[in-house]
Amino acid sequence: MPLRGWTPIAGDASRWQGGGGECLIRETRHTQAFPPLATQQAATGMANRLRVSLGKAGLGEVTTQPVDRDTTWAVLAGYVYEEGGARYRVSQLYLSDGGKLRTVSGSSAAGTDSPCTAGMREFIRYQAE
């Protein structure tokens, strides 16, 4: 369980909701190669490439930064996307898991000040591994 009081969605241990469904966290394991980021410099380079890629994908307000994970580095991205006329703010952590990409994504409606958003973003930024 990512956060106290959060519940799995339909019994799926990779998808969680908090704040009565106002915030969502999803972990996704990809088949795409993603070598470990051993240095801050490598993570910064990946963050810069990711920022360009997400911008080209049409996402708004894109930010990226390297984040320290004890013995390795990860990349944290933030962006806004639109779907069905609604805007969502996303925090997404990109990690190497055995040389494959794993993401931990948190989302909530853009402009929402739900109490779950700060805890969700803090979890993704500092605790998700």
Q: Which long-range contacts (CB under 8 A, 24 or more apart) does 119-122 make?
A: 119/3, 119/18, 120/2, 120/3, 120/18, 120/23, 120/25, 120/91, 121/91
Model pLDDT, residue 39 = 96
Model pLDDT, residue 57 = 95
pLDDT in tens, 42-67: 999 999 999 999 999 999 999 999 99
pTM over 0.85: yes
pLDDT in tens, 73-122: 999 999 999 988 899 999 999 999 999 999 999 999 988 778 889 899 99
Model pLDDT, residue 11 = 86
Model pLDDT, residue 1 = 58
CB distance 41 to 48 below 8 Å: no
pLDDT in tens, 28-47: 999 999 999 999 999 999 99
DSSP class of 116 = H
Q: How confident is the model at residue 129 (pLDDT cuts 50, 70, 90)?
A: confident
